Amino acid sequence: MRGIGAGPVVKALVWVLVTAAMIAPVIAAANSPLLAWRDPIYIAAGFAGILGLSLMLLQPLLAGGDLPGLSGMRGRRVHRIVGGLLLVAVIFHVAGLWVTSPPDVVDALLFVSPTPFSAWGVIAMWAVIASGVFAALRRRMRVPPRVWRRFHTALAVVIVMGTVVHAVQIEGTIETVTKLGLCALVIAATIRTVVKLQVLAKRPRRQPDA
């Protein structure tokens, strides 16, 4: 990471650890015996949700410039791309569940589902959509950078907390240990980046030399 004064070995190790944390839940879910009783569309929808959770680990790391080789403008560009992929994963996740069981999705959207994890998923979903729409219209709306950062950060926190609670409460094909490990890393990375960006925002700007 940038603050470590990392050499090539440390940089490679960072990528290995991040990649392992992202793909471990996918591999564990792919080996779940519960897949034998699931419809293909339902399985695809579930894996879209797992992929979305994995992508969420990248977002705070990219925003904070903590991924080797992806800092500055390059990191922000990749951050936007990953945000788009996250939005697609969420849409595919919900659409797949809608195809397999429309009444359950309607109950979730209306916050009347008997499963408590559904409400948290819906909250996170709307926050992802709001973040994507706001990002797309930011330039047209001429939103000041400070307002944009605060609103985007607030939505990111809602997305992370809603998704983590949603994922933790689900008992299904996603394996428990890898799921909890990924959720813990997503929370830790988000907290670190939010604090880091707040500290940077409060630092006084250097005055140009006379």
**pTM given for the model:** 0.88
Per-residue model confidence as pLDDT tens digits over 55-95 = 999 999 999 999 999 988 999 999 999 999 999 999 999 99
Predicted pLDDT of residue 146:
85
- The mean pLDDT of 22-51, rounded to a whole number, is 92
Q: What is the pLDDT of residues 132-181, one digit of tens each?
A: 999 888 888 888 888 888 899 999 999 999 999 999 999 888 899 999 99
Q: What is the DSSP string of the chain?
A: -GGGT--HHHHHHHHHHHHHHHHHHHHHHHT-GGGGGS-HHHHHHHHHHHHHHHHHHHHHHHHTT-STT--HHHHHHHHHHHHHHHHHHHHHHHHHHHHH-HHHHHHHHTT--SSHHHHHHHHHHHHHHHHHHHHHHHHHHT--HHHHHHHHHHHHHHHHHHHHHHHHH--SSS-HHHHHHHHHHHHHHHHHHHHHHHHHHHSPPPPPP-
